Structure 1
Amino acid sequence: MGAVRVSGLKVNYRVRGSGDPLVLLHGGFGLDSRSWGRQLDTLDDEFMVVAWDAPGCGGSDDPPEWFRMEDYADSLAGFVRALGLTNPHILGLSFGGALALAFYARHPTVPRSLILAGAYAGWAGSLPADEVQRRVQRISREVTQPPGEWLPKYLAGMLTESAPREMAEQTLALMSDIHPRASLTMLLAMANADHRGILPDIEVPTLVLHGELDVRSPLAVGKELHRKIPASQLVVLPGVGHLSNVEAADAFNFEVRTFLRSLNGPMG
């Protein structure tokens, strides 16, 4: 575990391996760099795998309450600079996928490629307005309560019913380390984000990787990202839910590795 300071905030991260840098951006709901365990342990044989704790998650400092997706994106840019990463591949899941798009919009010369897993173009950019409002109202009401009282109800949206019990318990334990106030900040950033405008202008290789049974970001959302991003690839993982990197880690890692290997040699 390492840490750097970015715009006055301590940002924790995990790093494994060597090679072309691959930066992993986790989802919300208390997730952090630990949710990428199977990726850190597997992809490190070929890549320098870096997983951050976004501001307000894991061991990182909470951001100001006014933070929005653009601010997370600028923090990510500072993080990449602090670690001296040159043209990293950016892999974002859920909130991390929306963040990857915001990062590209603000810093388009930095990413070498994008991998969008269970992603959104922000909630405002991918979901009906009434669904966004429902999610904001529900989460705003529940997130300040003890995690054990409300987080278990969200687990069904993260993994399918066929996920092993131990996997579900480990995921719930990780999510229980949630930072309540910072999660409200992240919630509003995600709810207001609308990155549809950038999609047709993405010029780096992009993989849209989606679980077939994702109920948080339905497959139709992934298909729409694929349709609007020029020359993007769409891979659907059958029988898998929202946290595809956890529930189908082997298949997820295979598709990530296959995509990255398909790109020509390192830039620069």
Structure 2
Amino acid sequence: MDTVEVDGLRVAYRRAGQGPPLVLLHGAYEDSRVWDRQLDDLSDEFTVIAWDTPGCGGSDELPDGSVALGDILAGVLETLGLADGPQRAHVLGLSFGSGVALDLWRRHPEIPATLILASAYAGWAGSLPPEEVERRYAQASAELDKAPAEIIPVWLPTLLSERATESMKAQVARLFEDFRPAGMRSLLAASGRADYRPVLPTISVPTLLLYGSVDVRSPLTVAEEMHRRIPGSELMVLPDVGHLSFIEAPEAFDDAVRRWLHTHEG
């Protein structure tokens, strides 16, 4: 892993390959290791960079309420020379990471060359009924006081479809075993009630929405509303996979990302 420092905050990331830069933003309870397959598969044509969100993996904790994730990501990309000119990054945000991508656009719209929002929300509060937002917030808050072994069986059925193999389930479980409760608590406080609906109509770069057809966490109703609100966006649905479509159908996911980036390079 490599690290950069942004305003005194150490941010860890993994990097592979050469070519147009593609930045991968993971979901909650995860870190950059969740993208191992994509770092391998897509690095034949792209410079693939997967960060550890502050509070996750090898990155420092998120400062309490003082720094926005979009600003931190902008600082990382500026430090790596991926914030302007021909090396502007393509930004792919998964689930919680899609909120980070939208926060980057809201605060620094000059930076992303394109956006890929996978299993995405306009923030929980921007995509879900208020009672569901509060249910998820309360559930996640309570779980942070429990051992990973207690929460993994609760989460897995919401992240993977019934067709997921035991090795896929084990891959996700290993990441959950390593989550940092303090880090997740700060991320939940910072973003758990975010509402990015006002941001969506302002997006003016090419945007791909990539969803699994049987996702129960960000279902197709959410996908269709995101598609309706983001001008010129493209919605692609991967059949028979759930929230973590890139784990259940990595070939289809990577092929969709690759083909779409080829269309929008330069």
TM-score above 0.5: yes
Unpaired segments of 5 or more residues in structure 2?
Answer: none
Aligned to 1:181: 182
Counterparts of residues 139-154 of structure 1 (less than 5 Å): 139-154=140-155
Give the percent of matched residue pairs that are identical in Structure 1 and Structure 2: 52
Q: 1:197 aligns to what SS in structure 2?
A: coil
Aligned to 2:70: 73
Q: What amino acid is the match of 1:159?
A: L
Q: Distance in 1 between matches of 2:55 and 2:73?
A: 13
Per-residue CA distance 1:219-258 (angstroms, 9 max, x = gap):
1111111111111100000101001111111000010011
Aligned to 2:54: 55
Counterparts of residues 74-223 of structure 1 (less than 5 Å): 74-85=71-82, 86-223=87-224
- Residue 3 (structure 1) aligned with residue 6 (structure 2): no
Q: What amino acid is the match of 2:216?
A: V
Q: 1:196 aligns to what SS in structure 2?
A: coil
Q: 1:192 aligns to what SS in structure 2?
A: coil
Unpaired segments of 5 or more residues in structure 1?
Answer: none
Q: 1:260 aligns to what SS in structure 2?
A: helix
Q: Distance in 1 between matches of 2:145 and 2:48?
A: 33
Per-residue CA distance 1:165-218 (angstroms, 9 max, x = gap):
011012101111111011012123332211111111111000000011111111
Q: Is the contact between residue 163 and residue 241 of structure 2 (CA under 8 Å) also seen in structure 1?
A: no
Q: Distance in 2 between matches of 1:188 and 1:162?
A: 33
Aligned to 1:34: 33
TM-score of the superposition, structure 2-length normalised? 0.96
Q: Distance in 2 between matches of 1:235 and 1:229?
A: 14
Q: What amino acid is the match of 1:172?
A: A
* 1:154 to partner: Cα distance: 0.6
Q: Distance in 2 between matches of 1:175 and 1:82?
A: 29
Q: Distance in 1 between matches of 2:223 and 2:100?
A: 15
* 1:99 to partner: Cα distance: 1.0
Q: 1:178 aligns to what SS in structure 2?
A: coil
Following superposition, which runs of at least 4 residues in structure 1 exceed 6 angstroms of deviation?
Answer: none
Q: 1:49 aligns to what SS in structure 2?
A: strand
TM-score of the superposition, structure 1-length normalised? 0.95
Aligned to 1:247: 248
Deviates more, 1:236-245 or 1:147-156: 147-156
Q: Distance in 2 between matches of 1:187 and 1:222?
A: 22
Q: Is the contact between residue 12 and residue 60 of structure 1 (CA under 8 Å) also seen in structure 2?
A: yes
Deviates more, 1:230-239 or 1:139-148: 139-148
Q: 1:110 aligns to what SS in structure 2?
A: coil
Q: Distance in 2 between matches of 1:143 and 1:59?
A: 19
Aligned to 1:18: 18
Q: Name the Cα RMSD after superposition.
A: 1.1
Q: Distance in 2 between matches of 1:7 and 1:156?
A: 39
Q: Is the contact between residue 62 and residue 187 of structure 2 (CA under 8 Å) also seen in structure 1?
A: no
